[in-house]
Amino acid sequence: MAAPCPLQSYQAEPGWKELIAGDAFGYQPLFVSGDPSGNRIRVRYFVHTKDRRLMCKAWFGPGSQGPPGHAHGGSISALMDEAMGFAAWVAGNMVLAAKLTINFRDMVPVDSILTCEAWVEDIQGRKITTRSRLFSQDGTTCSDGTALFLKLSPEKFGIARPGEDDA
């Protein structure tokens, strides 16, 4: 049985619009956020309407535990990887991760809800650089990260270009 999670009760903050990851990508749920009833990580994604940053509320459940009572660094990294990649996709770039760097600043207690923000920092040809920050409800930065993604053509993902005939 999955642990209780108040994440479903979190509404969009002022200036945030909810995004459904599966709808945005047009296929099955994402690796991290694809199990909204699981006991590891539950995520709700939003886009900040003013600056287009990707925002999310994430609950780290008992299945995310590494050190006693705290989330495993891999679960934190996986969330931040997904958020940074999703930020690139939301900005219109179909990407694949090439390099991921996560800096752990403070421990994340199990059964806590944190906020993650991610954004596209730079675009140089096919190279898309993103940044992210995961912080607690009191504003403490628990981790931050950067990632390098490579922009790929839609065909690499088996997706038709907009306007192409599907017949």
User: Catalytic residue positions?
Assistant: 81
Residue with tokens 């705290």: 70
Give the span between the Cα atoms of 130 and 145, in whole angstroms: 8
SS3 annotation, 9-49: HCCCCCCEEEECHHHHHCCCCCCCCCCCCCCCEEEEEEEEC
DSSP H helical segments within 97-158, as ranges? none
* Angle at alpha carbon of residue 88, lines to 85 and 89, rounded to 5°: 90
Q: Are 132 and 144 in contact (CB under 8 A)?
A: yes
Give how far the C-alpha of residue 17 lies from the chain's centroid of Cα atoms, to the nearest Å: 15
One-letter amino acid identity for 143? S
